C-alpha cells in the first residue's frame, strides 16, 4: 500500500487539504481532510489517510471522501469519515457506518445555575451511577419480549415515550424524531435480538458516558438563546449507541457482503470495506436492519434520559425542574439525503462514521424551534476537558454533505493510554479540579484526557472551514463511564 506523505497532500486552505485522485490509480474521487495543520501532522502518524484513500475506491462514490479533524483508524473507513455514493445503485458499506450503529450524543439542559448544583455533585454522580447500568454486558431494567423488540426496532424512541419514559417534546428534538422509517425488524437476526434484549437504558463500555457539566462560555448569544442556553447553566451529555444488537447487525452484514461482492464484480483494496449495491437484496437487507438498530439506539438514549431525570428527582426532590432535551444527534449512520453535486441536485447515500450532521438554517429536518439557528452540533471532549455546542451553517452542505466532527478523537490507543496514565492519581487530580468520576481505574486510564486530541483545535478546524459556528463551551463537573 502506497504510503502517504505530507508532500502528497495539497493545501486548499489552512484548514482544508486534498489528496488528489491522481495519487493512486484506483481512486475514483479525491480524498479531503478538514483539519488545522498540527492536527494533520498527527493524522499522518496512523493509517487514517490510507483508509480514506481506500474509501475513494467504493463503487458509485461521488465528489470526494472526507475526514474530520477528530479522525483516527477504524474498521474499513477511518473514524471521522464521510462518503456519499450514488442513489440507488451506489455502494453501501457497513464499515462506513461502524459496528456501534447510531452511536450518538444527547444534550439535556436544565434551568439551574451551576452554583445551585455544585454542592450536590458527588451525590448526583453516585445516583446517576445507581440509576444507569453501565459496563459490558450489564443488563438494564427491561427484558423485551419478541413483540416489544419488534416495536422498539420499528418505532425507536417513540416506544419509550409511549411507555412513559419521555415526552413528545423529546421526539421533536431528536434527529429524525428518533425513528428511521426504513426499519424492518425481521431483517435483524435472532442473535442480534438476543444481544439487545436486556440492553435498553444501558451505557455499555468503552468511551460511552453520562456527563454533568455547565455552560462555561457563550460565543454566539443569539444562537445560544435559540437553543435555550445561558452562561453557568447545568447540562447533561449522554453518549452511547445500539449496544450488542448494533454490533451484531454489522457483523452479520459484513459476513454476507464479503460473500456477495464477487457476484457484483466488486473488488476493493481492503476487505474491511466490504460493500454491495444499495439497491441489491443484500444492500437492502443491511439498510433495513441498520435502520432498526438505529431506532434501538435512539430508544436506548431516550430511556437513559429518563433515568437521568429519575436521578435528578432522587437528589433534588420530586418537584425539581427536570433536564430537558436540547438535541440528540447520530454519528454512526447511513442516510438517503439530497445534496447539490457539481450544480446538480442528487439523491445520495451518505455514510457518516464518527461524524454528525451539520445542516444549516432553514433545513426542513431541523426542529422548528432551532430552524433559524441551524442544526445543533454536539462535540464532547474528554472527561477532563471542554465539550462544545456548535451550529450548522448555510455552506455546510456544499463542503462535506452537511457533516461535522463528532468529538475530540483519540490520539492514543487504549493500550497506550493505560501504559502512560496512573488512574488513581488522575482521579484525585480531576476531583481536585472539581470533576467527580464513577468509573473503574481501567476505564479512567483508557479515557484519560491525554488519550484524546485537543478538542479546542478540532472545533477551531471545523469552524474555520465554515461548517459550523461555535455557540457554547461546556465544562465537566462529573461523569460516569461504562
pLDDT confidence of residue 149: 98
Q: Which of 208, 247, 370, 406 is catalytic?
A: 406
The four Cα atoms 86, 89, 94, 95 give a dihedral, to 10 degrees, of -50
Cis peptide before 434 (omega within 30 of 0): no
CATH number of 6-411+452-481: 3.90.1860.10
Each residue of 48-106: pLDDT tens digit? Answer: 999 999 999 999 999 999 999 999 999 999 999 999 999 999 999 999 999 999 999 99
Q: Taking a C-beta distance cutoff of 8 angstroms, is the pair 26, 75 a contact?
A: no
The grid cell for 374 is 441551524
Q: What share of the chain is helix, strand, coil (3-state, %, to 5)?
A: 40, 25, 35
Q: Taking a C-beta distance cutoff of 8 angstroms, is the pair 87, 278 a contact?
A: yes
The grid cell for 85 is 455514493
State how far the Cα of 228 lies from the Cα of 107, in Å rounded to an integer: 12
State how far the Cα of 32 lies from the Cα of 64, in Å rounded to an integer: 7
Q: Is 140 exposed, middle or buried (0-12, 13-18, 19+ CB in 10 A)?
A: buried
> Which residue from 304, 15, 358, 23 is spatially nearest to 166, judged by alpha carbons?
304
Q: Taking a C-beta distance cutoff of 8 angstroms, is the pair 140, 160 a contact?
A: no
Q: Can 406 be counted among the known catalytic residues?
A: yes
State how far the Cα of 467 lies from the Cα of 268, in Å rounded to an integer: 31
Q: Taking a C-beta distance cutoff of 8 angstroms, is the pair 437, 444 a contact?
A: yes
State how far the Cα of 338 lies from the Cα of 279, in Å rounded to an integer: 17
Which of the 8 DSSP states describes residue 176?
Answer: G
Each residue of 317-348: pLDDT tens digit? Answer: 999 999 999 999 999 999 999 999 999 999 99
State how far the Cα of 345 lies from the Cα of 278, in Å rounded to an integer: 19
State how far the Cα of 28 lies from the Cα of 21, in Å rounded to an integer: 6
pTM of the full predicted structure?
Answer: 0.96
DSSP 304-335: HHHHHHHHHHHHH-TTSPPPEEEEEEESEEEE
- 438 Ramachandran zone, left/alpha/beta (phi>0; psi -120 to 50): beta
Q: Taking a C-beta distance cutoff of 8 angstroms, is the pair 293, 242 a contact?
A: yes
Element (H, E) at 298: helix 281-316
Residues of the chain with pLDDT under 70: 1
pLDDT confidence of residue 1: 65
The grid cell for 177 is 424524531
- 200 Ramachandran zone, left/alpha/beta (phi>0; psi -120 to 50): beta
> Which residue from 94, 21, 89, 75 is spatially nearest to 265, judged by alpha carbons?
89
Question: What residue spans define the domains of the chain?
Answer: 6-411+452-481
Amino acid at each position: 500500500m502506497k504510503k502517504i506523505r505530507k508532500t502528497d497532500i495539497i493545501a486548499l486552505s489552512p484548514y482544508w487539504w486534498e489528496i488528489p485522485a491522481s495519487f493512486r490509480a484506483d481512486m475514483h474521487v479525491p480524498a479531503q481532510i478538514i483539519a488545522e495543520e498540527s492536527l494533520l501532522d498527527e493524522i499522518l502518524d496512523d493509517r487514517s489517510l490510507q483508509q480514506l484513500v481506500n474509501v475513494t475506491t467504493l463503487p458509485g462514490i461521488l465528489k470526494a471522501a472526507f475526514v474530520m479533524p477528530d479522525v483516527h483508524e477504524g474498521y474499513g473507513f477511518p473514524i471521522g469519515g464521510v462518503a456519499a455514493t450514488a442513489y440507488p445503485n451506489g455502494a453501501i458499506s457497513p464499515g462506513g457506518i461502524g459496528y456501534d450503529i447510531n452511536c450518538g450524543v444527547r444534550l439535556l439542559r436544565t434551568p439551574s445555575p451551576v452554583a445551585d448544583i455544585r454542592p450536590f455533585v458527588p451525590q448526583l454522580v453516585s445516583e446517576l451511577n445507581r440509576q444507569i447500568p453501565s459496563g459490558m454486558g450489564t443488563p438494564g431494567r427491561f427484558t423485551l419480549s419478541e413483540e416489544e423488540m419488534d416495536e422498539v426496532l420499528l418505532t425507536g424512541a417513540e416506544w419509550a415515550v409511549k411507555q412513559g419514559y419521555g415526552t413528545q417534546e423529546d421526539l421533536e428534538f431528536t434527529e429524525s424524531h428518533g425513528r428511521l422509517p426504513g426499519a424492518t425488524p425481521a431483517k435483524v437476526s435472532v442473535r442480534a435480538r438476543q444481544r439487545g434484549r436486556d440492553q435498553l437504558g444501558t451505557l455499555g463500555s468503552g468511551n460511552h458516558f453520562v456527563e454533568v457539566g455547565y455552560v462555561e462560555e457563550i460565543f454566539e448569544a443569539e444562537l445560544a438563546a435559540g437553543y435555550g442556553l445561558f452562561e453557568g447553566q447545568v447540562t447533561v451529555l449522554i453518549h452511547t449507541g445500539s449496544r450488542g444488537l448494533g454490533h451484531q447487525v454489522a457483523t452479520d452484514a459484513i459476513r454476507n457482503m464479503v460473500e456477495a461482492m464477487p457476484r457484483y464484480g466488486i473488488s476493493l483494496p481492503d476487505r474491511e470495506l466490504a460493500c454491495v449495491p444499495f439497491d441489491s437484496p443484500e444492500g437492502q437487507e443491511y439498510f433495513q436492519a441498520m435502520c432498526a438498530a438505529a431506532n434501538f439506539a435512539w430508544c436506548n438514549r431516550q430511556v437513559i434520559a429518563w433515568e437521568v431525570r429519575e436521578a435528578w428527582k432522587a437528589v433534588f426532590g420530586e418537584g425539581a425542574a427536570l433536564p430537558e432535551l436540547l438535541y440528540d444527534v447520530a454519528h454512526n449512520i447511513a442516510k438517503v439525503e439530497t445534496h447539490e453535486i457539481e450544480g446538480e441536485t442528487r439523491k445520495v447515500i451518505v455514510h457518516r462514521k464518527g461524524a454528525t450532521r451539520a445542516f444549516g438554517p432553514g433545513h426542513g429536518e431541523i426542529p422548528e424551534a432551532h430552524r433559524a439557528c441551524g442544526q445543533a452540533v454536539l462535540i464532547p471532549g474528554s472527561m477532563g476537558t471542554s465539550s462544545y455546542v456548535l451550529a450548522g451553517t448555510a455552506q455546510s452542505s456544499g463542503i462535506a454533505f452537511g457533516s461535522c466532527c463528532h468529538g475530540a478523537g483519540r490520539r492514543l490507543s487504549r493500550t497506550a493510554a493505560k501504559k502512560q496514565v496512573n488512574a488513581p492519581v488522575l482521579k484525585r487530580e480531576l476531583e481536585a479540579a472539581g470533576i467527580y468520576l464513577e468509573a473503574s481505574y481501567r476505564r479512567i486510564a483508557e479515557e484519560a484526557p491525554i488519550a484524546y486530541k485537543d478538542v479546542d483545535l478540532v472545533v477551531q478546524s471545523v469552524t474555520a472551514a465554515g461548517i459550523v459556528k461555535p455557540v457554547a463551551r461546556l465544562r465537566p463537573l462529573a461523569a460516569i463511564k461504562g
